[in-house]
Amino acid sequence: MQQRENWGSRLGFLLAAAGSAVGLGNIWRFPYLTGENGGSAFIVIYLVCVFVIGLSIMIAEFTVGRRSSLAAVGAYKSYSRNWTFVGVIGVLSGFLIMGFYPVVGGWALAYIIKSVSGLLTTPDAIGDTFVTFISGSVQPLIWMLVFLALNVAIVAKGIAGGIEKASKILMPTLLVLLIFIGIRSVSLPGADAGLKFLFSPDWSQVTGQTFLAALGQAFFSLSLGMGCMITYGSYLNKEENLAKNATIVTSLDTLCAILAGIAIFPALFAFGMTPDQGPGLVFVIVPSIFAAMGSAGVFFSTLFFIALAVAALTSSVSLLEVVVAYLIDERGMPRKRAVYSASGVMAVLCIMASLSLGVTSHITFLGVGAFDFFDILTDKIFLAVGGMLLAIFAGWVYKKEDLKDELTNGGKVQFGLFEIWYALIKYIIPIAIAVIAFMGIRSIAQTGLMIFGLLVIAVLAVFSKKL
């Protein structure tokens, strides 16, 4: 039996957990969703969702993980073998997300170099440059492998020596970069319109879709439902205050999302662009903004894509760790062997995902290419269903006294909001997440893919007890 690893310090855990939450969703997805959903009013609703639903789920994941001292699969199985499949869904989600996430992380690394090698000299060609780059069959693969290699190097060194040490460097770096870019953004002439868009709510822009988008972003931004926080929680010592730590992690994640908005929208308005630019905001619109800054644009573009790559890396190491922890806990593999085995298969999936945007775009499964298949299957199905089942598990399967004992460290710390939290996790949150899951699944145009995803979950529910 291998000795269980632990975090070396509370700060290291907090930065690593915050790093897991802070990723492409904060710097890429959050700004474009804010732009598409009316700005400040969306942010207010998003904040409510984060600190009511997201924080409650994170507390539950930390509790389940530390109580068992096991990662996603073992944490469920140790309490009830009938619920093993929920942990398997989390591991499978992390595995499939790592089948395309390093591809986008590689784009961010490539754009650091592109920023200093002429990308901004021809602003009209920035959009075409991006399309040509991601559809290539050599460059994107090289950058993907570089990004994946960084993940391997960090996770192979373990919890304290690898993930924690890297997070102590990467997270402060990310915060400093976002603050620095934000200061430049708000100092531009005309930037006040962007600040008004971010911080002066226009409630006339709010629709039912606004609430749905805010709730979905809050849930997915915090890396919930995929086993990351259960796994990170399993490495915590019994003296840590789980509710307090979850609050700090959630706050850091939200801070990075708001800073990303401040870095982008004031500059966007200053140069006369509209906020509803969609998913192309980061790799097409943002470089166009920096190009309009003149000679200083190269410097700020480089900083921005360094920040994006750092954010992607802090999240991806936690996704790799979910799979590695499963192989260590449930299959008895040494850490390095687990890392190399998992990342080797992930590299194959990433190659498939990257090529599906170019030379193999004609090859589809259930109507979509490999990149979209991995993305939709996890984002729209596995994570939503996994998060809902986690809330049901904590509220209806876990004994209330066990939850309270773990959250109060056996009565040594206070958690005055326990009864409110318990009511939320048992009654309100499962319904709220069920709505997200239903609406997200219903929005999938590929009905065959939806059925396939739900069928996979059903099969796991039947057979995962044997794992």
In the chain, what are the domains?
10-466 (1.10.4160)
The Cα–Cα gap between 112 and 305 comes to: 5
* Cβ atoms within 10 Å of 35's Cβ, excluding its own: 23
Helix, strand or coil for residue 138? coil
Q: How many residues does the chain have?
A: 467
The pTM score is 0.89
Nearest to 26 by CA among 223, 248, 180: 223
Quickly list DSSP for 379-392: IIIIHHHHHHHHHH
Residue whose tokens read 């775009």: 361
Q: What is the pLDDT of residues 268-289, one digit of tens each?
A: 888 887 777 666 678 888 898 8
Helices and strands per DSSP (H, E), number in the chain: 24, 0
8 Å CB contact between 250 and 58: yes
What one-character DSSP code corresponds to residue 430?
Answer: H
pLDDT < 70 regions, the chain? 1-4, 277-280, 437, 439-446, 466-467
pLDDT of residue 210: 81
Q: Where are the alpha helices (DSSP H) in 356-407?
A: 370-376, 383-392, 400-407
User: What dihedral do alpha carbons 155, 158, 159, 160 form, nearest 10°?
Assistant: -120
Q: What is the pLDDT of residue 279?
A: 61
pLDDT of residue 444: 60
Given this model, what pLDDT does residue 1 score? 45
Q: What is the reported pLDDT for 446?
A: 64
φ, ψ for residue 443, nearest 5 deg: -80, -10
Rounded (5°) CA angle 47-53-55: 80
User: In the prediction, which pLDDT does 115 show?
Assistant: 94
Residues 6+ apart with CB under 8 A from 262: 178, 182, 185, 186, 195, 198
Please give the angle made by the CA atoms of 187, 299 and 104, to the nearest 5 degrees. 105
Identify the CA nearest to 284 among candidates 143, 120, 106: 120
